[in-house]
Structure 1
């Protein structure tokens, strides 16, 4: 590139080869710029999102676990996601609860999915400018954004968003050339989809349907089908084997639940979001729950029906292409949720857009199939099209309306993002752990429910959630804290505070306030009902004339404690089922007083 000045004007001379390269690859370069622009836009919006619910368990498990087969293949409430767990492990090891790292990882894969959709469209339709329209549909589709804002959902979805278009492109190459290596690559992408999301089982079904609709002759591709079937069989065997060791969370809903769910998912959520909706979201937080007004649902169904009729009137096989999209929504998106979630969540599960986010690449492909002729396709249209200017104007207007509607929907949803409470709690705890003394004893309690709901059981506890940010030594002490005279606990703001026990105090009825010794042994009853919940904390009051060491027994577990002279208290975790504390050979001058079993709380 050179710069010259002619008659007062600066003229930039661009080399001919560069001009020819831009002209030759202009469509692809434009597509890449579109993907980059969409990535930047979504990255700006995602800055306001943060971890929630399953995300905390994923981070904690990743920090606690090595990169083992058991870790990668664990079934999480019916989800089999080695790819997602691998990405979670890498993100958590780089920075536990680092939203920039976590969101950046899934955004990179989502951008790769955008490039994969561009590749698929180029392979199927050729490098014509018209393929940029269905690419824009994928990039702006509102169903993709809420899934990105929930890290656990994105860890599933982005792998399938990437694998489906890559598998279609490679399979399409195989159908055109007959070269088996393309089918091998397609089978590899099917495996990637399966390892990212169980819904990946539907990818070979999409390949089968595309072959039957646009190529026919299924028997001629027997080697490819055998490879795809082999991948499915191997995955199914592994999934079944791992499922045997996992809690059974599946179940079928009642008929009315199933019918209501299908209406919510297909009629309200999917039908509106494929047109740029839902335009209104459930105002209960950043859950991606669609709540379109009934009038807009009816209008969306009418618009979709009109699109199907008009495109089918002109474009051959358009009805089959639309049927492929609907079939995918039913088989891949509805059926797994019907089995795994609807009996627990009810029909409300059908309003969650993350269940259909993986259909976005197929939506882009179907938009292309119902509008654009395939290269070399004979008689792609049933009848002559209206004037080119009219067709271009109508398609451009429809695309503009979709783009505008999508921007509105995503912008409204982004207004619900913002997790100052969760972010503040985690970052305060991170700072507290960083300055905690090496020998600090931090007792367990539930994380506040507005940060992590209590339903996550052990992964609702501070030792797991916040322990992910501690050093390995401190994390081990948090999960199995020793007895201590001065313990700490996290308060509801994430600050470390002196520990106290909230429970019913049991005091001895003796003149000196000490539990009596029999043969030098003191037995301290815990309560009429002994602690049976793991994590129950005990506070034991005492007085001692001098520093001394004692051994306390709960059940068959000994606890050694060094008492300080004067009045004091000992904190220790209860042994579930133990109904007393036994102190054999209690030294003279030591009085054991009131005992309080209960839950750890910050001292006032």
Structure 2
């Protein structure tokens, strides 16, 4: 229990020093915009169905918008449950013995599960996924050991719990089937399979229905963005994901991180460290084989999980980013739990399981290490993993751009109240350009100042600069209108309409017009450019500047529907891109 408490305290420190990033903003917006309805919880996010994650997002939002301490507290609580579930699983399978300490320590302090702690969007999916996996294994072993139906039902509940977080919960039933086949059946492979089907035919049907139903729902209702299968990527991805990412992460690494765009951090171990990790893994597998019987099935179970995670990544995200995805640990989270399970199954006997690993009557490796040796190795791996995890957390702690931006913008809105704003884009350090590719600023402003608007035309247009400060709108001019023929007026509009030519035509782009005019009194106006939508607004009495959106390619601007009894003067029309100007507050 002390290990679980230490693990939870460390992960809480890591979480409280981080902040909302990337997809987190979308979860906040969705939670704020939607009530707790079935449509809301079943709304997919980037191809993932995650009703449990949306419920957890609402729970965090109960503490207030952008309340990171409340969000981190909920996540830390769930991380503590992961530690308890890991301890319970090991104790259930192997009993209360010192032998469960090494796999527990390696799991609790591995850097592999760090993204599932500090990145809220990942935690919403993968912390429940870990809880479901660990509890399902424990409940299933109790069901096999006792034959009681309640443990079967609790196993199903754990699988459904994991599936409610992410489709990777489909990996759990094959793991449970492998445990039954390898540890609770006897005889030849055929005899084991027949016995298993006879004993568990009902649960096999139920689990199959749940799995096929989930797959069918995804196929019919969840839109997936996929590229063509890239067989050439599979080899390099295997090397980065299993050869580098997993191997070093499970042995205390990766010791170094590559962070081209913080806070994203990829495992970047030295070459010698990767080779040393494989020597450690090979040494453990070999030692288990030489000293115990029936260890291969434990490593086969781990290999199944790793290959499943590899194929999922290869067929989904890796084609978009390349083999570097294999060194991003959020795609390997379950591997840490499966490695803990495999290590226990290889070296410890499962109570009541005839197929457990047992010591060889005549070991092929006879030297006996003092107990201090495995303790020292385990402690070194755990402390090394803790150090690597700390370095990962510090990357997140040092990246404060989103927090600073949102904090300043929130304070400024508290002073100004709702505004008419132009979307000049969010800095890429606040939200990556691959996310919220459309309406990025309006989505964020909608959280902080719901009554602010993004009009097509405004005399009082504001812009948010890269620091989150509110400014008056300025224009980076690309072209302007021809000089007007009337001295002191420019372009006179005496009969309610006028076409004003530009010095040179624009290219096809998203433009803003800045119309400098003088009107004797208020009047309606329609502004239109070639192939563009007409913008209806109002001219004010006096000397003013009006900003108007005008997209596309055009060489003149049409002003119509002005009160024909008025003489309006347009001094100049500038065309350009919007940018921050003088401070607003």
TM-score over 0.5 for the alignment?
Answer: yes
**Where in structure 2 are the equivalents of 1:47-126 lying within 5 Å?**
47-92=16-61, 94-126=63-95
Alpha-carbon offset, residue 197 of structure 1: 1.8
1:166–1:323 distance in 2 versus 1, CA, 3 Å: same
Q: Distance in 2 between matches of 1:577 and 1:84?
A: 44
Q: Distance in 1 between matches of 2:540 and 2:507?
A: 25
Alpha-carbon offset, residue 213 of structure 1: 0.7
1:192–1:459 distance in 2 versus 1, CA, 3 Å: farther
**1:99-155 superposed Cα distances (whole Å, 9 cap, x missing partner):** 223333322222211111122112212233433332222211111113322222222
Paired position in structure 2 for 1:286: 263
Q: Distance in 1 between matches of 2:34 and 2:505?
A: 39
Paired position in structure 2 for 1:434: 414
Paired position in structure 2 for 1:7: none
Paired position in structure 1 for 2:105: 136
Alpha-carbon offset, residue 557 of structure 1: 4.8
Alpha-carbon offset, residue 201 of structure 1: 1.1
Alpha-carbon offset, residue 529 of structure 1: 4.7
Alpha-carbon offset, residue 271 of structure 1: 0.9
Stretches of structure 1 lacking an aligned partner (at least 5 in a row): 1-30
| Pair 1:323 & 2:300 matched | yes
Q: Distance in 1 between matches of 2:558 and 2:22?
A: 38
Paired position in structure 2 for 1:171: 140
Paired position in structure 2 for 1:151: 120
- Secondary structure at the counterpart of residue 473 of structure 1: coil
| Pair 1:544 & 2:516 matched | no
Q: Distance in 1 between matches of 2:382 and 2:467?
A: 42
Paired position in structure 2 for 1:307: 284
Alpha-carbon offset, residue 411 of structure 1: 2.5
Q: For this pair of structures, how many residues does the alignment match?
A: 559
Paired position in structure 1 for 2:337: 361
- Secondary structure at the counterpart of residue 455 of structure 2: coil
- Secondary structure at the counterpart of residue 78 of structure 1: coil
| Pair 1:336 & 2:273 matched | no
Q: Distance in 2 between matches of 1:183 and 1:204?
A: 12
Q: TM-score, normalised by structure 2?
A: 0.88
Stretches of structure 2 lacking an aligned partner (at least 5 in a row): 186-194
Alpha-carbon offset, residue 322 of structure 1: 1.1
Q: Distance in 1 between matches of 2:282 and 2:405?
A: 49
Q: Distance in 2 between matches of 1:413 and 1:78?
A: 27
Q: Distance in 2 between matches of 1:83 and 1:343?
A: 28
Q: Distance in 1 between matches of 2:273 and 2:423?
A: 49
- Secondary structure at the counterpart of residue 375 of structure 2: helix
Q: Distance in 2 between matches of 1:171 and 1:251?
A: 38
- Secondary structure at the counterpart of residue 456 of structure 1: coil
**1:511-561 superposed Cα distances (whole Å, 9 cap, x missing partner):** 22544548432335688458654xx4332211123x413232446655232
What RMSD, in angstroms, separates the aligned Cα atoms of the two structures?
2.7
Q: Distance in 2 between matches of 1:88 and 1:148?
A: 14
1:301–1:129 distance in 2 versus 1, CA, 3 Å: closer
**Where in structure 2 are the equivalents of 1:133-532 lying within 5 Å?**
133-216=102-185, 217-219=195-197, 220-243=199-222, 246=223, 248-255=225-232, 257-284=233-260, 285-331=262-308, 333-376=309-352, 380-383=358-361, 390=369, 392-417=371-396, 418-438=398-418, 440-458=419-437, 461-470=440-449, 472-474=450-452, 477=453, 480-481=454-455, 483-512=457-486, 514-517=490-493, 519-524=495-500, 528-529=505-506
Q: Distance in 2 between matches of 1:117 and 1:433?
A: 46
**Where in structure 2 are the equivalents of 1:12-23 lying within 5 Å?**
none
Alpha-carbon offset, residue 563 of structure 1: 0.4
Q: Is the 8 A contact 2:7 2:83 kept in 1?
A: no
| Pair 1:599 & 2:574 matched | no
